[in-house]
Amino acid sequence: MSRFVAITAVRDFEGRVRQAITGALHGELQTLTPDVLRGGPDDVFKQLNGAPPEVLILGPGVAPDDALKLATVFDLQYPEVSLLLIAEPTPDLVLRAMHSGIRDVVTPEIVVNDLRILLERACLASASRRRGMAPAAESGQERGRVIAVMSPKGGVGKTTVATNLAIGLGKVAPMAVVIVDLDLQFGDVASGLMLEPEHCITEAVHGTAAQDSMVLKAYLTVHPAGIYALCAPRTPAESDYITADHVSRLINQLAGEFKYVIVDTAPGLGEHVLATLELATDGVWVCGMDVPSVRGLRKSFSVLKELQLLPQGRHTVLNFADRKSGLSVQDVEATIGVPIDAIIPRSRTLPFSTNRGVPVLQSTTRDSASKGLKKLVERFDPLWVSSTHNKLHRRVVVS
């Protein structure tokens, strides 16, 4: 089956579509000429390879009236297919296209990067419609894992771990990962991923987006690595307009649409963090290799245990690990009372990648820090989870 079908006679546009798909999107492109429309929709169906595509691109080179007629038929018979019209978007044409079931009308001069984002969102919309058409029992099984990345204190590399985890899981499940910046006053997910978001979490938890998951997706920012981000408010003052109930509703919405929802929380145990933990399937606790950080983590575990808010999946990460720090891995484990699951040694590469806004797991850099982060990502890979692991919490020698 071809995931994308384009009806066009313009080679330059076809080439841009192939560029947009290659590397960033998974699936094949089938191209048909506008002549196929002479025989009506039935002739188009006969030309398709296998099942209907996820995205049908109409034009350029297709007469708008012919495109709208075909779109109307597709919208009735295959509502899960996302329809895109490539033509100059006049107000009259956009209105007619909307009535015909077309998702977007964009200019033929659209550049490759914008085209890739458009196709990614169209694929998300198609997947969402398919899930909505599935039986309720099946849709319940598709609820994503909610991974809360936490630390009792700031400055331990929590956001660096969260962004690398998102990038790593994006390779496991392309276009099925979203990272939410819940450090509402001073969140750095946008800078850590070198993003300039058009929208932020403040807009996503109010208005229509809070009720409609399709609208919510319009507020997500697309990252070139094939993941999505919902970034922190533009100013710290905006955090006053986001409540714990807003957070709970937002996470529930995203968990119904994505395989992995990674929540980069604020330091401490505020109301937004506790609301996240109530819905989290997994908790990733990041700890530095210093006494205040270790003691803070121990207290955090103690409080959450009393509140019965410890997620079923527990993953403890020791960051900035250094044998010259005066502490050993055994010392840390003895203090916090749980094993260390992933160790990230102190590295020059990691802060450099953070300052660049390019996570180490997105680049080709190989060092001990990237190895530790890959081991953390593996813990959420279904293939890793289903296999047998002996000595899961082996003692690790920190170099």
The predicted model gives 39-46 an average pLDDT of: 72
Q: Which of 217, 233, 179 is nearest to 362 (CA)?
A: 179
Query: Strand 227-230 to strand 221-223: parallel, antiparallel, or no bridges (unpaired)?
Result: antiparallel
Residues 226 and 106: their CA atoms lie apart, in Å, by 22
The predicted model gives 120-149 an average pLDDT of: 69
| Res 107 pLDDT > 50 | yes
Determine the pLDDT at residue 136: 40
Taking a C-beta distance cutoff of 8 angstroms, is the pair 65, 94 a contact? no
- Residues of the chain with pLDDT > 90, as a percent, come to 40
| Res 391 pLDDT > 50 | no
Q: Which of 286, 376, 370, 375 is nearest to 332 (CA)?
A: 286
Determine the pLDDT at residue 140: 45
Q: Please state, in angstroms and as integers, the Cα–Cα distance from residue 240 to each residue in 233, 243, 246, following that order.
A: 10, 7, 12
Determine the pLDDT at residue 137: 39
Determine the pLDDT at residue 142: 67
Banded pLDDT at 50 (limits 50, 70, 90): low
Q: Is 288 exposed, middle or buried (0-12, 13-18, 19+ CB in 10 A)?
A: buried
Determine the pLDDT at residue 384: 60
Banded pLDDT at 141 (limits 50, 70, 90): very low
| Res 28 pLDDT > 70 | yes
Length reported for the chain: 399
| Res 236 pLDDT > 50 | yes
Taking a C-beta distance cutoff of 8 angstroms, is the pair 44, 52 a contact? no
Terminus-to-terminus CA distance in the chain, angstroms? 49
Binning the chain into helix, strand and coil, the percentages to the nearest 5 are 45, 15, 35
Give the burial string for 360-394 (b: 16+ CB within 10 Å, else e).
bbbeebeebbbebbbbbbebbeeeeeeeeeeeeee
Q: Please state, in angstroms and as integers, the Cα–Cα distance from residue 363 to each residue in 158, 307, 356, following that order.
A: 19, 40, 11
Q: What letter represents residue 48's amino acid?
A: L
| Res 80 pLDDT > 90 | no
Taking a C-beta distance cutoff of 8 angstroms, is the pair 86, 60 a contact? yes
Strand positions, DSSP E, the chain: 4-7, 29-32, 55-58, 82-86, 104-106, 145-150, 177-182, 221-223, 227-230, 260-265, 282-288, 313-321, 342-345
- Residues of the chain with pLDDT > 70, as a percent, come to 89
Which residue segments constitute the domains of the chain, with CATH numbers given? 2-130 (3.40.50.2300), 145-381 (3.40.50.300)
The predicted model gives 59-74 an average pLDDT of: 86
The tokens for 332 are 């840390």
Average pLDDT, the chain: 85
The tokens for 334 are 């003895």
Residues 265 and 160: their CA atoms lie apart, in Å, by 12
Give all strands of the β-sheet with 55-58 in edge-to-edge order. Answer: 29-32, 4-7, 55-58, 82-86, 104-106
The predicted model gives 109-127 an average pLDDT of: 84
Q: Which three-class secondary structure state does DSSP give residue 83?
A: strand
- Match 């009506």 to its residue by tokens: 40
Residues 231 and 181: their CA atoms lie apart, in Å, by 5
Q: Which of 15, 233, 5 is nearest to 122 (CA)?
A: 5
Lowest mean pLDDT, pick from 38-47, 196-205, 258-267: 38-47
Determine the pLDDT at residue 128: 65
- Omega of the bond leading into 60 within 30 degrees of 0 (cis): yes
- Which segments of 22-146 does DSSP mark as H helices, in order? 41-47, 64-77, 91-99, 112-133, 136-141
What residues have CB less than 8 Å from 289, skipping those under 6 apart? 318, 319, 320, 321, 322, 325, 327, 332
